[in-house]
Amino acid sequence: MNARVAALAASEGGRVALVHGPTRLTYAALDARANALAHALIRRGIHAEHRVALRLERSPDAFVAILAVLKAGAAYLPIDPDAPPERRDTVIRQAGARLLLTDVPGEGAACPCLRLDDPDAFAGPATDPGLTLHPDQLAYVIFTSGSTGQPKGVAVAHGPLAMHAAAVGARYGLTRDDRVLHLIALSFDGATEAWLAALFHGGRLVIGEPRAWTAPDILDTIRREGVTVTGMSPALLISLAEAHAQAGGGRLPVRSWTAGGEAFGLDAFRAVRRTFAPARIINGYGPTETVITPLLLAVDPEADAAAVAGGDWLPIGTPVGARTAYVLDA
């Protein structure tokens, strides 16, 4: 991932990489800023296999920080900025985080802290640290409650993550002309797929506000920024379709909608399809342990609706990339 962003920064540095409201960050600025922060992390003793916790509000610098951690050879640990101190500190301790990067005001944490507004955070050189990353080297740790209700860390290495970014981008047909709306909280693994695939393929990432925005806010952003690809929970997608229909419908620039994170009922799917026709709708499925969405079903505009009939839920599709799926029982 670092190499792809660096290559784009060198060849087409003026291209916009990140959008957040009126703020635009080019690939050159993204790479340079991430390099500077990576050097600050290295000065603090961060290196391969170290975990760096991220408690950050949604902004371009949140994605700068993720890239910086990877450039420093470490692994990032995203934490919900609104998580209670007890939850935050439990996750930090269980993951063995060496450092917390934050831009959120508040009390201290269970490890040393570096604020992004610290003058030293971006005082380093804008050149790449030049570290070589091994495919088995840790890239991130995501905490999920799983089936127990207790926080459980899932570790993902660079090799599987890079494979998924390339493979899922190919399945989506992502290009540098795509504008991907990011509406998933950074503490969920689906957020990684959205930003990683967009930047991996040279597209533009439009940073949304999943907690603050209403359905009309999302629709306005889609129109204003020319969003072509986005993903969200089925519940949010359904509410978006309802709001769009109530506003009179009409064509949107989105060519691909993805629903993930929970089962997608067939009746809801049909309603969404009627509203957003002829856009493609994708159902993404997978446990965090199998790297985000190991299975996808894409229903293209020309697909016969009968092809996905026969049950109450949309099927979960076929394997993405170099994976094997096993059907173990009924």
Same domain for 85 and 146, yes or no, is yes
pLDDT tops 70 at residue 149: no
Last residue of a domain, one of 92, 122, 157: 157
Residue at which a domain ends, from 141, 157, 173: 157
31 & 115 share domain: yes
Residue 256 confidence (pLDDT): 95
Any domain includes 294: yes
The pLDDT of residue 322 is 92
pLDDT digits (tens, 9 = 90+) for 156-210: 999 999 999 999 999 999 999 999 999 999 988 889 999 999 999 999 999 999 8
Pairwise CA distance, residues 92 & 86, whole Å: 10
For the segment 144-155, the average pLDDT, to the nearest whole number, is 76
Over residues 104-141, the pLDDT tens digits come to 876 667 889 999 999 999 998 999 999 999 999 999 99
Pair (166, 315) in one structural domain: yes
Using pLDDT thresholds of 50, 70 and 90, give the confidence band for residue 92: very high
| pLDDT over 90 (residue 310) | no
Q: Is 90 exceeded by the pLDDT of residue 146?
A: no
Quote the number of domains for the chain: 2
pLDDT of res. 309: 72
**pLDDT value of position 150:** 74
Question: What does the pLDDT average to over 234-263?
Answer: 93
Q: Is residue 329 part of a domain?
A: no
* Contact criterion met (CB below 8 Å) for 77 and 52: yes
Identify the band that residue 308 occupies on the pLDDT scale cut at 50, 70 and 90. confident
Range of the domain at 275: 162-319
Residue 179 lies in a domain: yes
Edge-to-edge strands of the sheet including 75-78?
113-115, 97-102, 51-55, 75-78, 138-144, 152-157
Name the band, by pLDDT with cuts 50, 70 and 90, for residue 249: confident
Q: Let me know whether 314 and 166 are in one domain.
A: yes
Same domain membership, residue 220 and residue 136: no
| Mean pLDDT of the residues in the chain | 91
**Residues 181 and 130 placed together within one structural domain of the fold:** no
pLDDT beyond 70 at 255: yes
Question: For residue range 29-79, what is the model confidence (pLDDT) as tens digits?
Answer: 999 999 999 999 999 999 999 999 999 999 999 999 999 999 999 999 999
Residue 12 belongs to some domain of the structure: no
Residues 55 and 152 in one domain: yes
Report d(CA 12, CA 316) in Å as an integer.
Answer: 37
Residue 318 has pLDDT above 80, yes or no: yes
166 shares its domain with 312:
yes
Residue 305, pLDDT > 70, answer: no
Portion of the chain with pLDDT greater than 90, in percent: 72
Domain match, 310 and 198 both: yes
Residue 259's contacts (CB-CB under 8 Å, 6 or more residues apart) are: 231, 232, 233, 234, 237, 269, 272, 281, 282, 283, 284, 314
Q: Token pair for residue 319?
A: 């394997």
* pLDDT bucket at 301, cuts 50 / 70 / 90: confident
Q: Which of 255, 238, 122, 243 is nearest to 181 (CA)?
A: 255
CATH number at residue 52: 3.40.50.980
Whether residues 171 and 125 share a domain: the answer is: no
Q: Would you state the pLDDT for residue 312?
A: 87
Task: Please choose, from the candidates 255, 248, 268, the residue with its C-alpha nearest in 3D space to the C-alpha of residue 203.
Answer: 255
pLDDT at 34: 97
> Does some domain include residue 66?
yes
Are the C-beta atoms of 184 and 232 separated by less than 8 Å? yes
Which of these three, 140, 157, 174, is where a domain ends?
Answer: 157
Query: What is the predicted pLDDT for the residue at 55?
Result: 94
| Residue 88 pLDDT class (50, 70, 90 cuts) | confident
pTM, full prediction: 0.93
